[in-house]
Structure 1
Amino acid sequence: MTTGQSAIASSTDLDIRTLRDHLMKADPGVLVAVLAQMTGDASVVDRYAGKIDHVPDPPERAGTTDPATADALADEIIAALGRPRPAGAIAADDRELFAVLLPIALGTDVDDEQVDLLLEQGGFRPSQPTLPRTTPIPSTTTMAIIGAGIAGIAVALAAAEEGVHFQIYDRNDEVGGTWLTTTYPGIGVDTPSAYYSLSREVNPDWSNYYPEGAEYQEYLVALADKHELRRHIRFGTEVEALWWDEQRQQWQIHSRAADGTVSFDYASVVVTAAGYLNRPRFPDLKGRDTFAGTSIHSALWDPTLDLTGKRVAVIGAGCTAVQIVDACVDDVEHLTVFQRQPHWVAPRKRLSDEVPEHRRYLGRVLPFYAMWHRLKSYWGTADNNYPIILQDPEWSQTHLSISPANDVLLRMCLDYIDRMFGAGTELARKVTPDFAPYGKRIIRDPGGYYAALTREHVDVEASEPAEVNSDGIVTADGRQIDLDVIVYATGYHLDFLSTVDIRGRGGKTLSGEWGDSPRAYRGGTVPGFPNLFITSAPNYSPGHGAGANFSMEVLAHFILECLQLMALRGATTIEVTERAFTEYVAGIDQAMQRTVWCHTPNAHTYYRSESGRVVVATPYRLVDLWQQHRAPVEEDFVLQ
């Protein structure tokens, strides 16, 4: 992993012929940006920018140029690697230079409001303190972080940077969260790997554009090792309750170890870094417990289970089901997919998801290279996608899609269906949704899902099972399907901390405050619950692009800014006011009315709670969410 602006290698350490060969295969737009940052010479832009074009087809706008220009770029980069950076050169993270480089590397114009965000998201500049650091956060401040996945790690690193003492609690025996515990066949990251990491720790050497879960788990383990986080983690410890102690002005933490031992600890501040999708959800099917074969939920996979030669049913059609079907179709004797509701499936854009060797090599040896590819991955899946989720009232009156931008995606997905199944066929009909794209989370075909559904030994049932018996499943139209294995790829309960007994001032419970419609102000804060921050908060998940890592880093920054505000004001508690909370939530609900999730009521999605309110996705652009969390608005809080 690489961070900051440090050079990774010099030309004297490298085989020049190999380096040149890889440079000639690289994106020239990225190389121009790299060269300008390596040398601190803005004239690089004048020499090369006009000679580079960009291929507009996603997933990334690739830069192209003529061989002579590519050769000249390679010469200059090799030379720059062989000499020290000139004294007085423009800093690599200089904002003015960076703004000039963005359209050359990304292939599109970039609004000025995005520049500072992109400096951070590319890993070129750490998150910048907003409030003055004239008064340090007191050494007596203690932080309890619940969860050792990517969110918990992000908060822990931010706390360590500010000198805040922290303790992490995790019910598992290793870091990683979801990527540790979920191991079904084909599990992978559906956010581009180049981006799905922490901006302070860019991994230059992913093997796959969408790596399997094990590779991402290795990344998180490496983070814990590099930053010596294990000495701050209590593994095998589940937090069962958080009670505010008014007398101590601290949170009492009730936890249970794997051996049943109950402990009580105290912390000034609590940050919950547990996701809202943790408990596997089984469908309410008659006879589910009577099946004589093997029943398994995708979240509770048994690594010893061998599907070879088995008659298998997969219940579900979401991302998990798609990955399992893609992974096991060649092994099973027969596969039946029970598709309760079809999803829109986008085709894979590359012939292979393996990262080419030149990308991996240059990521390891060339300063800034991996950062620019991280930024290209972010930019290609971030606010450029925002129009896709916004409704055009006039358009949506006469179209299944909700806007012209949304329709482009719909047409791409429909074309993919027609190509794979044949226009108008029964199978095409089964897999075609009746709602606009993004009404449910869009799915990316890992490469063989749609192809698998066309295989002779695969059947698609466009309905839920009617019931389960000892031999298998009875279909909705009364047919018996005999099975050896039933895989429930049926998702999770939407928890939002409902499994933890959280009591704030006066014994007020968070579950009672939320009911079936969880709500939060900035930083995942709720009135009546001082010094409590919720990273996987309601309406904080990017719904149109980027990844969960974005909101985690944004909230980690905000939490430390709140602690800094407390230090500046000599306060021991910070609590959002009822007024600010109500107004912020009202703003979310108003903005949400423009989005696809409020205009596709027939789409079954975990984004909505039982009340029907959209509680998972944010309705805002990512740059808006980032701006909202640069610093706390002091009048929105009570500081005591």
Structure 2
Amino acid sequence: MTTDATVTADHTGSDPAELRSYLLQADAGVLVAVLAQLTGDPAVVDRFAAKISFEPDPPEQIGVTDVETREVLVDAVMAALDQPRPAGALPSDDPALFARIAPLALGTAVSGEYVGLLLEQGGFHPSQPVLPRTAALPTDFKVVIIGAGIAGMAAALECADAGIDYEIIDRNDEVGGTWYTAVYPGIGVDTPSAYYSLSRDINAGWSSYYPQGAEYQEYLESVATQNNLRDHTRFSTEVEALWWDEERRLWQIHSVGPEGTREVSYANAVIPAVGYLNRPRWPELAGKESFAGVSIHSAEWDPDLDLRGKKVAIIGAGCTAVQIVDACVGDVEHLTVFQRQPHWVAPRKRLTDDVPEYRRWLNTHIPFYANWNRLKSFWGTADNNYPVIVRDPDWAADHLSISPANDVLLRMCLDYIDRVFGAGSELAKKVTPDFAPYGKRIIRDPGGYYAALAKPHVDVEASEPARVNVRGIVTQDGRQIDLDVIIYATGYHLDFLSTVDIRGRDGIKLSDVWGDSPSAYRGGMVPGFPNMFVSSAPNYSPGHGAGHNFGVEVMVHYVMECLQLMAQRGVRTIEVTPEAFESYVDEIDRAMADTVWCHTPTAHTYYRSGGGRIVTAFPFRLIDVWQSHRAPIEGDFVLR
């Protein structure tokens, strides 16, 4: 893991023959981009572009049409690596240079509006400040961040860079959030690992394109170590309440520490970064307490649980269930999968998820190479994927899919079902959804899920259990299934801070404001709650591409800009006006009305609140979200 992969990547001391061997296997489009950045010469694009062919699936390999061109390109890169950067060359993150090389490296046209976003998301330079840094907050200004997952860590790093005093409070005894607490078999990243990291802390050495949770946790721990985040963190401490103290114009933070010790501390601003899927949801299932075997929720997994030779049932068919089934099917004596509703499952595109040695070497040793790999992973599922979630009324009128783009995904998934189970088979019918793809979260097959369902010692029940008894589960049609272990992969309660007593100005409760349809302005801001920025806010999660880290970085940049506005105006509080809040939420809802989530009523999804509103995903392009969060609109706030 490197703090700046574009600076610390170093081939010094490498064997020239080994270097050449790895470069000959490299993505040729990326090599041209690397060469242009090493030399500061955009003309290299004209020299090589015509000889490069694109192979977009999987989207990391680009070839050349002849061996001689590849040899010449490798020679040029090796020479550039051994030479100092020419005087007067364009900077490696120069927007004009980047605009020339990005289409070749990424394999598609790149609109100029994306250049700034891609430079940041590729880690070529940090998020660029918009408001001038000509004023500072008072020296005693303090930010408290609740949660030490990726969102809380990102906020802490930006506070540190800005010279703002901060403290993280986390209920666990280590950083990592979900990746620290969730340890069920097969847990892994379903966003490509090349992208799923902080752009300021790119990990060049992933062992897998979709690594297991333990490897991702190691990455987060390394970020904390390199940046001394633990020195600013109160671990094993649960925040019970946040109360706004109008007299002091500070937030009171009520917490319970180790051994039940209670404390009230204060902060000028708070950033709740605890996510909204934390509390395991057990189904209302008659008799579940009577089962004589082992009952376990995937979110509360016991690492000592041995499934070998056991008769096991898993209730659920979401991402967690898929990963557990894939991981344990070879160990159990018999497995019964209870699915309330099938998901669309996309096939794995490679024979293996292992990152080949040459690519790991190039990522680690060649400047800019890991950055471009990160950016290609982002770009491959970014706004090029946006049409998949937008409804075409004419198309949707007589198709299950909602648009031609959505139909491409549907056909791919249907083909996968037919290949594994046989077209028209009983099992194929059981696993085929009745709603358009993306109506609920799409699932990537880790490699063996569908194959597992087809095994002779695996049964799929296309319904929930009727009840549980001492011996096991009774099915909806009255059959008894005797079991040793029941795994509840039934997800989480959708908690937008509902487990914390948050009271804003005049004692108003956030839970009363939100009810069962939470909403927020940019930066996770709500009228009546000054200086509070909810990181995992309603409608701030990318729904069509990128990953959680994109939303995190956009949000944290915006929060820093808001704090800078406070510094410039010499004020102690910033609070969104009700009018700006309502206008922004109305904009979200109008855009949401045209998305797949509002036109797949049969899909059971946590995206939808109890009130029926889509509350997790945002309905905009990534570029629109990025641009609208570059700087605060001062007229939308009350500054005091």
For normalisation by structure 2, the TM-score amounts to 0.99
Q: Residue 496 of structure 1 corresponds to which residue in structure 2?
A: 496
Q: Residue 211 of structure 1 corresponds to which residue in structure 2?
A: 211
Cα contact 1:186–1:324 (8 A) shared by 2: yes
Q: Residue 558 of structure 2 corresponds to which residue in structure 1?
A: 558
Superposition deviation, residue 58 in structure 1: 3.9
> Structure 1, residues 322-354: CA drift from partner, whole Å, max 9, x if none?
000000000000000001100000000011000
Q: Residue 94 of structure 2 corresponds to which residue in structure 1?
A: 94
Question: How many angstroms apart in 2 are the aligned matches of 1:279 and 1:159?
Answer: 28
Q: Residue 260 of structure 1 corresponds to which residue in structure 2?
A: 260
Question: How many angstroms apart in 2 are the aligned matches of 1:165 and 1:43?
Answer: 46
Cα contact 1:342–1:430 (8 A) shared by 2: yes
Q: Residue 401 of structure 1 corresponds to which residue in structure 2?
A: 401
Superposition deviation, residue 86 in structure 1: 1.4
> Structure 1, residues 98-120: CA drift from partner, whole Å, max 9, x if none?
00111100100011111110000
Question: How many angstroms apart in 2 are the aligned matches of 1:49 and 1:507?
Answer: 63
Cα contact 1:574–1:637 (8 A) shared by 2: yes
| Residues 1:361 and 1:5: Cα distance change in structure 2 (over 3 Å) | closer
Q: Does 1:622 align with 2:622?
A: yes
Q: Residue 508 of structure 2 corresponds to which residue in structure 1?
A: 508
Question: How many angstroms apart in 1 are the aligned matches of 2:344 and 2:62?
Answer: 26
Question: How many angstroms apart in 1 are the aligned matches of 2:457 and 2:9?
Answer: 52
1:6-155 matched pairs, under 5 angstroms: 6-8=6-8, 12-60=12-60, 62-155=62-155
Question: How many angstroms apart in 1 are the aligned matches of 2:148 and 2:360?
Answer: 28
> Structure 1, residues 188-245: CA drift from partner, whole Å, max 9, x if none?
0000000000000111110000000000000000000000011100000010000000
Q: Secondary structure at the match of 1:191?
A: coil
Question: How many angstroms apart in 2 are the aligned matches of 1:447 and 1:12?
Answer: 38
Moved over 3 A (4+): 3-12, 58-65
Superposition deviation, residue 380 in structure 1: 0.4
Cα contact 2:10–2:367 (8 A) shared by 1: no
Question: How many angstroms apart in 2 are the aligned matches of 1:258 and 1:458?
Answer: 44
Cα contact 1:11–1:78 (8 A) shared by 2: no
> Structure 1, residues 383-439: CA drift from partner, whole Å, max 9, x if none?
111000000001111000000000000000000000000000000000000000000
Question: How many angstroms apart in 1 are the aligned matches of 2:383 and 2:131?
Answer: 27
Superposition deviation, residue 140 in structure 1: 1.8
Question: How many angstroms apart in 1 are the aligned matches of 2:119 and 2:616?
Answer: 27
Cα contact 1:27–1:64 (8 A) shared by 2: no
Task: Please tell me the residue identity of whatever aligns with 2:207.
Answer: S
Question: How many angstroms apart in 1 are the aligned matches of 2:339 and 2:505?
Answer: 46
| Residues 1:74 and 1:248: Cα distance change in structure 2 (over 3 Å) | same
Q: Does 1:637 align with 2:637?
A: yes
Q: Does 1:345 align with 2:339?
A: no
| Unaligned runs of at least 5 residues, structure 2 | none
Task: Please tell me the residue identity of whatever aligns with 1:340.
Answer: R
| Residues 1:60 and 1:20: Cα distance change in structure 2 (over 3 Å) | closer
Question: How many angstroms apart in 2 are the aligned matches of 1:432 and 1:600?
Answer: 15
Superposition deviation, residue 61 in structure 1: 6.1
| Residues 1:6 and 1:188: Cα distance change in structure 2 (over 3 Å) | closer
Cα contact 1:55–1:64 (8 A) shared by 2: no
1:359-438 matched pairs, under 5 angstroms: 359-438=359-438
Q: Secondary structure at the match of 1:259?
A: helix
Task: Please tell me the residue identity of whatever aligns with 2:35.
Answer: L
Question: How many angstroms apart in 2 are the aligned matches of 1:39 and 1:6?
Answer: 14
Question: How many angstroms apart in 2 are the aligned matches of 1:264 and 1:249?
Answer: 15
> Structure 1, residues 32-69: CA drift from partner, whole Å, max 9, x if none?
00111011122211211111010133444634442211
Q: Residue 235 of structure 2 corresponds to which residue in structure 1?
A: 235
Question: How many angstroms apart in 2 are the aligned matches of 1:81 and 1:408?
Answer: 42
Q: Residue 440 of structure 2 corresponds to which residue in structure 1?
A: 440
| Residues 1:235 and 1:9: Cα distance change in structure 2 (over 3 Å) | closer
> Structure 1, residues 248-296: CA drift from partner, whole Å, max 9, x if none?
0000000001310000000000001101000000110000100000000
Q: Secondary structure at the match of 1:418?
A: helix
1:586-625 matched pairs, under 5 angstroms: 586-625=586-625
Q: Residue 222 of structure 1 corresponds to which residue in structure 2?
A: 222
Question: How many angstroms apart in 2 are the aligned matches of 1:438 and 1:330?
Answer: 30
Cα contact 1:63–1:105 (8 A) shared by 2: no
Q: Residue 249 of structure 2 corresponds to which residue in structure 1?
A: 249
Cα contact 2:291–2:468 (8 A) shared by 1: yes
Q: Residue 298 of structure 2 corresponds to which residue in structure 1?
A: 298
Task: Please tell me the residue identity of whatever aligns with 2:385.
Answer: N
Q: Residue 178 of structure 1 corresponds to which residue in structure 2?
A: 178
Cα contact 1:318–1:443 (8 A) shared by 2: yes
Superposition deviation, residue 31 in structure 1: 0.4
Question: How many angstroms apart in 2 are the aligned matches of 1:59 and 1:629?
Answer: 29
| Residues 1:250 and 1:629: Cα distance change in structure 2 (over 3 Å) | same
Task: Please tell me the residue identity of whatever aligns with 2:534.
Answer: I
Question: How many angstroms apart in 2 are the aligned matches of 1:69 and 1:380?
Answer: 26
| Unaligned runs of at least 5 residues, structure 1 | none
Cα contact 1:61–1:107 (8 A) shared by 2: no
Question: How many angstroms apart in 2 are the aligned matches of 1:17 and 1:5?
Answer: 23
Task: Please tell me the residue identity of whatever aligns with 1:125.
Answer: H
Question: How many angstroms apart in 1 are the aligned matches of 2:562 and 2:588?
Answer: 21
> Structure 1, residues 161-181: CA drift from partner, whole Å, max 9, x if none?
110000000000000000000
| Residues 1:292 and 1:28: Cα distance change in structure 2 (over 3 Å) | same
Task: Please tell me the residue identity of whatever aligns with 1:482.
Answer: D
Cα contact 2:254–2:264 (8 A) shared by 1: yes
> Structure 1, residues 435-492: CA drift from partner, whole Å, max 9, x if none?
0000000000000000000000000000000000000000011000000000000000
Superposition deviation, residue 13 in structure 1: 1.2
Percent identity over paired residues: 70
Q: Residue 333 of structure 2 corresponds to which residue in structure 1?
A: 333
Q: Secondary structure at the match of 1:143?
A: strand
Q: Residue 574 of structure 2 corresponds to which residue in structure 1?
A: 574
> Structure 1, residues 580-605: CA drift from partner, whole Å, max 9, x if none?
00000000000000000000010000
Task: Please tell me the residue identity of whatever aligns with 1:217.
Answer: Q
Question: How many angstroms apart in 1 are the aligned matches of 2:147 and 2:354?
Answer: 31
Task: Please tell me the residue identity of whatever aligns with 1:261.
Answer: T
1:507-546 matched pairs, under 5 angstroms: 507-546=507-546
Q: Does 1:457 align with 2:457?
A: yes
Superposition deviation, residue 88 in structure 1: 1.4
Cα contact 1:3–1:123 (8 A) shared by 2: no
Question: How many angstroms apart in 2 are the aligned matches of 1:585 and 1:616?
Answer: 13
Superposition deviation, residue 137 in structure 1: 2.3
Task: Please tell me the residue identity of whatever aligns with 2:529.
Answer: F
| Residues 1:330 and 1:11: Cα distance change in structure 2 (over 3 Å) | closer
Q: Residue 161 of structure 1 corresponds to which residue in structure 2?
A: 161
Question: How many angstroms apart in 2 are the aligned matches of 1:272 and 1:439?
Answer: 28
Report how many aligned residue pairs link the two structures: 640
Question: How many angstroms apart in 2 are the aligned matches of 1:517 and 1:135?
Answer: 38
Task: Please tell me the residue identity of whatever aligns with 2:185.
Answer: P
| Residues 1:184 and 1:562: Cα distance change in structure 2 (over 3 Å) | same
Task: Please tell me the residue identity of whatever aligns with 1:215.
Answer: E
Task: Please tell me the residue identity of whatever aligns with 2:307.
Answer: L
Question: How many angstroms apart in 2 are the aligned matches of 1:600 and 1:144?
Answer: 39
Q: Secondary structure at the match of 1:13?
A: coil
Task: Please tell me the residue identity of whatever aligns with 1:422.
Answer: G
Question: How many angstroms apart in 2 are the aligned matches of 1:64 and 1:82?
Answer: 24
For normalisation by structure 1, the TM-score amounts to 0.99
Superposition deviation, residue 316 in structure 1: 0.3
Q: Secondary structure at the match of 1:533?
A: coil
Q: Secondary structure at the match of 1:277?
A: coil
Superposition deviation, residue 85 in structure 1: 1.2
Question: How many angstroms apart in 2 are the aligned matches of 1:411 and 1:150?
Answer: 35
Measured on the aligned residues, the alpha-carbon RMSD in Å equals 1.0
